[in-house]
Amino acid sequence: PPAPIAGVPGVTYVTQDTFAQQNRHQYIDPNDPKSKTVYVGNLTWWTTDQDLIHACASLNVRDVTNIKFYENRTNGQSKGYCAIDVGSLNSAKTLMHELRNVTIHNEHPYVAIASKTPLYYFETSLG
């Protein structure tokens, strides 16, 4: 299990290992439009949409339709995670299983199908 943050009850650090463990049973529902959206975290604040498009293309995913970066309201910098929309379930599956092995600015991203759980982890641990 993830290690608790000292002095903050109920809040934990999320590491690559714990995130992968908690999301290992993510199911891609072909009838859910959100299944074509993946959350990608552990990004540097200077990661651009072109960096992500290049990473996706390296996995032969060429149907990226939208990338939404989550930004800090105070300074406008990226919080280190985004949502990537793709055109097919196969592309979403490829990103889910293979994008975590691609290096982007010397980091390996965390990847999860869009849902409240990974968004909560990104907000509390990375954002």
Residues of the chain short of pLDDT 50, as ranges, are 1-15, 21, 24-25, 127
8 A C-beta contact, residue 72 and residue 92: no
This prediction's pTM: 0.72
DSSP letter for 123, please. Answer: I
pLDDT tens, position by position, 60-75: 999 999 999 988 888 8
Q: What is the pLDDT of residue 10?
A: 44
Strand locations in 1-127, DSSP E?
37-41, 64-71, 78-86, 110-113
8 A C-beta contact, residue 100 and residue 47: no
Q: What is the pLDDT of residue 33?
A: 59
- Most distant CA pair in the chain: distance in Å? 45
Residue 62, CB half-sphere, CA atoms under 13 Å: how many?
A: 1
Q: What is the pLDDT of residue 34?
A: 63
